[in-house]
Homo-oligomer: A and B are copies of this chain.
Amino acid sequence: MAKQRGKLIVISGPSGAGKSTVVFKALEGRSDCCFSVSATTRKPRPTEVDGREYFFVDPDRFKEMIANDELLEHAEYVANSYGTPRAYVEKKLDEGMNVILDIEVQGALQVHEKMPEAILIFFIPPSMEELEKRLRGRGTDSERKIQARLYRAKEEYALADFYNYIIVNDDADVAANEFSAIITAESCKFEDRKFYLSEV
């Protein structure tokens, strides 16, 4: 069977939606998926390896990457820049890998504009009440931080209308099965397989 190109899978959702747990569970036993590696101006920590955790670049090189349209999206966090190198993603897609990119809604919108074929999945908890309960249950955030996260979640919900799929993480096994199913189903799309029909 001819090797199909992989898909770029963008995942977003509020802190507390349980995205990471679900995705790691879904990827157990799937060798056709990998995570994207971001470029950053942040200094590497002792255990970090360039090209594994991040591509470490200096601020001038980062600016150049933006100017040359080498990034699918980029954003600033705590005085450092982070971005998704298009070349790395394209290389993995060409190898047939599905590349998973975990970013916020604003970044997802940039990716959606630069690569319209990307699959966008929005993870949510079953309700805002449940989200609040989960955030409190962690016991790590101040009341003010919890309120800020809930406010941020509502903001993201209002902007999420360009996503392709919604996964409601009520039960992590169900959600993981849905995530895996989306990746499998997307690889069966007519456009990606129509070459089979002309090989007759």
Contact = CB atoms under 8 A, between A and B. Distances in A.
Interface of A: 1, 121-122, 124, 126-128, 153-154, 157-158, 160-161, 163-168, 170, 177-178, 180-182, 184-190, 193-194, 196-200
A165 B177 contact: no
A150 to B, nearest CB: 9
A153 B197 CA distance: 10
Number of copies: 2
Given A178-B188, A181-B181, A181-B184, A127 B164 contact: no
Given A165-B193, A166-B196, 5 more contacts: A127-B199, A165-B189, A168-B193, A178-B187, A182-B188
A21 B163 CA distance: 34
Contacts of A168: 1, 193, 196
Contact of A157 (B122, B160, B200): B200
A111 B140 CA distance: 53
Nearest to A199: B127
A102 B164 CA distance: 27
A186 B186 CA distance: 10
Contacts of A194: 161, 166
A190 B170 contact: no
Contact of A182 (B122, B185, B193): B185
Which of A1, A128, A167, A188 counts the most B-chain CB atoms under 10 A from its CB?
A: A188
Given A124-B196, A199-B127, A165 B184 contact: no
